[in-house]
Chain A
Amino acid sequence: MALIRDLAIQATQMTLVLALAPLLTGFIRKLKARLVRRQGPPLLQPYRDLMRLMKKEVVLADNASWLFRVAPYLIFAATWVAAALVPTFATGLLFSWSADLIAIIALLGSARFFLALAAMDVGTSFGGIGSSREMMIATLAEPAMIMIVFSLALLAGSTQLSSVATYMLSPHVGLRVTLGMALVALIMVAIAENSRIPIDNPATHLELTMVHEAMVLEYSGRHLAVIELAASLKLLLYVSLIACLFLPWGLAPAGSGGLALAIGLASYLGKLALAGGLLALFETAIAKMRVFRAPEFLGAALMLGFLGTLLLFVSRGGLR
C-alpha cells in the first residue's frame, strides 16, 4: 500500500513538472510583455504552440541523419528525468536516491551533448556557431555548478537533494557566507544554462549572438515541440532547484500525509510565481552581453563557487 502511494507521488511529480513547465515559460513571457507595457501572448500560449507544432509534419534537411531525428527525444527524456528527480513539493520521493545532484547535472550535460551534436548534423554555419558557443558556455557553467554542489554537499554532508533540502530546513544552518556565494553563483549558472538574458536571448532569431536558438534552427514540427518542451523543463528544473535548496519551506517530508502534500504543492506554486516574476523583472532591466563577455560572467560564478567551497575547507566546525 505504501509502495503504491509512493509510486503515485513519484508519478505526480513527473507529470507535475511536465504540466507546469510551459506554464512557467508562458508566465514569464506574459510578465515581461506587461513590464514593457505590451499586451503579451495569453498565459496558455506555450501549450497551444506545442500542440500546433506536434500536429505539423516535420521538414527534414536533405542530409539530416538518424541522430538528428533521435536527439530530440533523448534531450527531452534526459531533461525530464532530471527535472523529476529535483524535489518540488515533497522530499524523499520513491526514486530520489537513484541519482544525486551530481548525476542530475550530468543528465543535463547529456541533454546538452546531444543538442550540440544535433545542431552540427545538417552542416550549416548557424548550427555550428550555436553548438560551439553552447559548449564554450558549458565549459565554465558546469565546473561552477560542481563547485556549488561541493559547497552545499560539504555543509549538508550529502549530495542527495532530499538530504540537502532537509538539512537546509533544520536549525543547524544559520547564515553562512558560503551559502550566499552559492546562491549567487547558482543564479548566475541558471541564467546561463537556460539561455536567458544577459547570456543569450530566448526571444531572438536571426541575431549573430544567439546560442540556443541557433542550435535548434533546423528543427521543425514535433521535433521542435519536444525540444521547446525540454527547454521549458530545464528552466523549471533550475527554478525548482533554487527553490528546494534555498527556499525549502513548505516541502513535505518523506511519508507525510495529504495536508502536508497540499501545503507543499501550494508553496511550490508560490515559489515558481516568485522566481518567474523576479526573472522577468531582471530580464527587462538588463541588456544582453556580447558573447565573449559571457566567460567573464561565468568565470565570476565559478570563482564564487570555488571561494565558497574553499571557505568551508579552511573554516573549522559545522562540517559533517
Chain B
Amino acid sequence: MIPTSVELLLECCAALLGLSAFAVPFARRAWATPLVYSACLVVALAAGGLALRHLLMAAPAPDSVVLPLGLPWVGARFRLDALAAVFLVVVNLGAAVASLYALGYGRHEPEPQRVLPFYPVFLAGMNLVVLADDAFSFLVVWEVMSLSSWALVMARHRDADNARAGYVYLLMASFGAICLLLAFGLLAGQEGGYAFDAIRSHPPSPIAAGFVLALAILGAGSKAGLVPLHVWLPLAHPAAPSHVSALMSGVMTKVAIYAFIRIVFDLAGAPAPWWSLVILAMGGATATMGILYALLQNDLKRFLAYSTVENVGIIFIALGLGMAFKAQHMALAAALAVTAALFHVINHSLFKSLLFFGAGAVQGAMGERDMERFGGLIGRMPQTALAFLIGCVAISALPPLNGFVSEWLVFQAILLSPKLDASALKIMIPAVGALLALAAALTAAAFVRAFGITFLGRPRSVAAAEASETDRWSRAAMFACCGLCLAAGVLPGFVIDAIVPAVQSLVGGRMTPQAAQPWLSIVPIAEARSSYNGLLVLGFVAASASLAAFVIHRFGSHAFRRAPAWDCGFPDPSPATQYTAGSFAQPIRRVFGPFVFGVREEVDMPAPGDTRAASIRVVVHDRIWETLYAPIAGGIDYVAGRLNHLQFLTIRRYLSLVFLALVGLLLVLAIWL
C-alpha cells in the first residue's frame, strides 16, 4: 500500500525525534554537528516537498490518520489539509535554510550538547502542531515545541540575561498554553469531543465562540508576539543561537498564527462580528508599537525580534480584515485579506530568517551584538552585507521584492472596506490603514538605521575593523533566502495561486487565478481597479539603471580617484564623530517618544569656561512593562512573601492546615452541588 502524505510527514517527524535521541549521547563528537544538521536539512526538504505537492494538487482532499496514542477514546489524530500544507511549507522551508546555515554556524557552538538534541525536536514539534487534528495532541505537541525552544533559548544559560529571558519565556509560554487549554475545553463542549472533526460538527454558540476567540488571542497571540503579550519575545529570540533565533522569529511565530487561524476561522464557528475590531486594533497597535520599540534598540538581534512583533501585527491586521469581510459574507474581499495574511506569513518567514542569519554572521565576526560597536562591515563582509541589504529592502516593503506585494495586498483589502456595513469598523479601518502606513514608513527608517550603522560608515571598534567574512554554508543559506525573496516578489501570482485552496477552505471564496493574467501581473479584483507587476518593475528599474550607467560611462567620464572624505572640508579622523544608532533614531524618538515611551532628555551643559564634560541622559519608559507586568510581578512577589512563613510551621500546624483545607473543600462541594 502506498503511504499517504500525512503518514510520510509523520515519518519525517519520527525521523527528527529519532535524530535527537541519537544526538543525546554523541552531541560532543565533532562529526555530530554536520551530521545532525544535514539530516535535518534532508528531512525538512522532504517534508516541505510533500506539503508543497499536496498544495499543488488539482483538488487537494484532506488526508488524515488516527494513531493509537494519547487519549484512548480520541486517539492521536493528524490531518493534512490545504491550510496545514501552506504552513508546513513555511515551517520546513525555514527549517531547511536554518539547517543549511547551521552547517556552518553550528561549528562555532561552544556547547553543542545543549543545542543538538533539542533542535530536531523543535522542528518536529512545529511540524506536528500544524498536523495535529485533535485538541489533546495539539496541546501536547504545542508544549513540545515550547519546551524544546525554551531549552534552545537556555543554551547559553550562564549569561544572566539569557537566564532571565528563559524564565520570562517559560512563564509566558505556560500562560499561553493554559489559555489554549481553556479554549479547547470550551470548543469541546460538555460532550468532550476533542477531535477537530467533532468540534467542527458542533460549533459553539456565538457567546462561547467569543470566549474561545479571546482565549485564542491570549494563547496564540502571546506566542506570536501580539502587543501587549510580546514581552518575552524580544528577550528570548535573541538569546538563542542565531539559526534558532531565525526559526523562532521566522517560523514559530507563524505556527502560533496557524493556531489562531485554525481556531478562529476553522473551529470556532462564527463569533460576534465586533471581534474583528479587537483583532484590528491589536494588530494596528502591535505593528506600530513593535517597530517603534525596534527603532530604540541597539542590540541587532533584539532589534530584529521587535521587528518580528511589527510583522505579526501586519498579519493580524490582514486577518482582522478577513474576519470582518467573512462575517458580512463578502467572500471575495475576505479571500483577498486572508491571501494577504498568508502571503505575508510566507514572506516574513523568508526575510526574517535571512536577517537573523546575517545578524548571526555579524555576531560571529564581532563577538557581540551591540550596533554601536559595528560599522564599515560592508568592506570586510561584502557578501553578508549584500544579503542583509536584500533582506532589509524586502522587509521595508520596497518594490520589487516580496514584502511590498503582501503589504500592497493588505492596502487593497483595506480599500474594499467601505462596503462593510458596520459603523464602528468604518472608523477603525482607516485608522488601522494609517497605522499600517506609519509602520511601513518606520520600518524603512529602522532598517536604514540597522544596515547603515552595522555595515556602512567607518568601523567603530577594533573588532569591526578586523572582522572577516562568514563561512560558505551560512552564505549559501542567506543567498537561498535572497533568491526566494526575489522570486516571491517578481512572481507573486504563483504564490497567490498556490495558497488559493487554503484561503478557499477558510473563507469560502477565492481570488481570480493570477498566473493566467497577462504579463504575470497580479490583479486582486479587476485591472481597472488595481494591478501590480513586480517582474516589469524589476525589469524597468534594471534596464533604466544599466542604460544610465552605460550612457554615462560611454559618453561622459568613467574616471575616478580616491581621496579623503570631503565632509565640508573638516573631516574628523575619529570614527566616534559618526552618527550612531542612538543619534540616528533621535529625531524619530523626539517625534513619537514623548507620547509613546514618555521619553525625557536631560542635557547637562556646563557654562562657558567650565571644563567639566557635558552630558545627555535619555530616560525611556517601557510603559507596557511598567503598567501591566510590573504590578503583576510585584503583586505575586508580595503574596509570596506573605505566604513564606507557611514553610516554617510545626508539624501540628501543618496537620491542622491540611484538615482545614479538607473541610473547606468539602464545604465548597456541599454548597456547589
Q: Compute how far the CA of A110 lies from the CA of B419 in the bound complex, rounded to whole angstroms.
A: 32
Chain B residues with CB under 8 Å of A313's CB are 417-418, 426-427, 429-430
Asked whether A63 lies within 8 Å of B531 as measured between CB atoms, the reply is: no
Taking the closest CB of chain A, its distance from the CB of B418, in whole angstroms, is: 5
The 9 closest A-B pairs by CB, nearest first: A128-B579, A123-B457, A54-B556, A120-B452, A77-B545, A146-B437, A143-B437, A135-B445, A136-B587
Collect the chain A residues with CB atoms within 8 Å of residue B431's CB: 306, 310
Distance between A316 CB and nearest chain B CB, rounded to angstroms: 10
- Bin chain B's interface residue count: 35 or more
Chain B 519-563 interface mask (CB, 8 Å, partner A; 1/0): 101000001111111001100111111101100100111111111
Cβ contacts A180-222/B at 8 Å (1 or 0 each): 0000000000000000000000000110000000000110111
- Measured CB to CB, the closest approach of chain A to B456, in angstroms, equals 5
Chain A residues contacting B427 (CB-CB under 8 Å) are 310, 313-314
Q: Are A120 and B530 in contact, with the CB atoms below 8 A?
A: no
Selecting from A20-28, A155-163, A268-276, the interface stretch reads A155-163
Contact A128 B584 (CB under 8 A): yes
Q: Is A140 an interface residue (CB 8 A)?
A: yes
Complex CA gap A106/B394 in Å reads 12
Of B177-185, B376-384, B496-504, which binds chain A?
A: B376-384
Count how many chain A residues have C-beta atoms less than 8 Å from C-beta atoms of the other chain. Answer: 87
Contact of A99 among B453, B458, B532 (CB under 8 A): B532
Name the contact of A97 in the complex, choosing from B398, B527, B549 (C-beta under 8 A): B527
CB–CB B560/A159 < 8 A: no
| A154 and B559 contact, Cβ closer than 8 Å, known pairs A100-B530, A124-B567 | no
Which of A37-45, A66-74, A245-253, A278-286 faces chain B? A66-74
The one of B519, B549, B566 in contact with A73, judged by C-beta atoms closer than 8 angstroms, is B549
Judged by a CB distance under 8 angstroms, whether A61 is at the interface is yes
Chain B hits for A99, CB < 8 A: 399, 532-533, 536-537
Q: Are A136 and B588 in contact (CB under 8 A)?
A: yes
Which of chain A's residues 90-107 have a Cβ closer than 8 Å to chain B?
95, 97-100, 102-103, 106-107
A residues lining the B interface (CB < 8 Å): 54-63, 65-67, 73-74, 76-78, 80-81, 84, 95, 97-100, 102-103, 106-107, 109-110, 112-113, 116-117, 120-129, 131-133, 135-136, 138-143, 146-147, 150, 153-154, 157-160, 163, 205-206, 217-218, 220-222, 225-226, 291-292, 295, 302, 306, 309-310, 312-314, 319
CB distance from B595 to the nearest CB of A (A): 11
Q: Residue on B with the closest CB to A97?
A: B531
- Produce 1/0 per residue, B287-325, CB < 8 A to A: 000000000000000000000000000000000000000
Residues in chain B near residue A222, CB distance under 8 A: 552, 556-558
CB pair A98 B430 closer than 8 Å: no
- 18 contacts across the A-B interface (CB closer than 8 A): A56-B557, A58-B559, A60-B563, A63-B565, A80-B548, A95-B540, A98-B531, A109-B441, A117-B451, A123-B578, A124-B571, A132-B583, A132-B586, A147-B430, A159-B529, A206-B568, A295-B591, A309-B434
Task: Give residues of chain B (364-401) contacting chain A, Cβ–Cβ below 8 Å.
Answer: 375-376, 378-379, 382, 385, 389, 393, 396-399
Do the beta carbons of A77 and B430 come within 8 Å of each other?
Answer: no
Q: Is there an interface contact between B528 and A74, defined as CB atoms closer than 8 Å?
A: no
Q: Say yes or no: is B590 at the interface (Cβ < 8 Å to chain A).
A: yes
| Cβ–Cβ contact A81 & B398, under 8 A | no
B560 touches A221 (CB 8 A): yes
Is the beta-carbon distance between B537 and A139 smaller than 8 angstroms?
A: no
Query: In the complex the two chains form, what is the Cα distance from A147 to B411 in whole Å?
Result: 11
Q: Are B530 and A159 in contact (CB under 8 A)?
A: yes
A159–B18 Cα gap in the complex (Å)? 53
Interface string of B438-457 (1 = CB under 8 A from A): 10111011011101110011
B residues within 8 A CB of A78?
A: 541
B577 touches A (CB below 8 Å): yes
**B398-424, CB < 8 A from A:** 398-399, 404, 408, 411-412, 414-415, 417-419, 423
Q: Tell me the complex Cα distance, A121–B454, Å.
A: 10
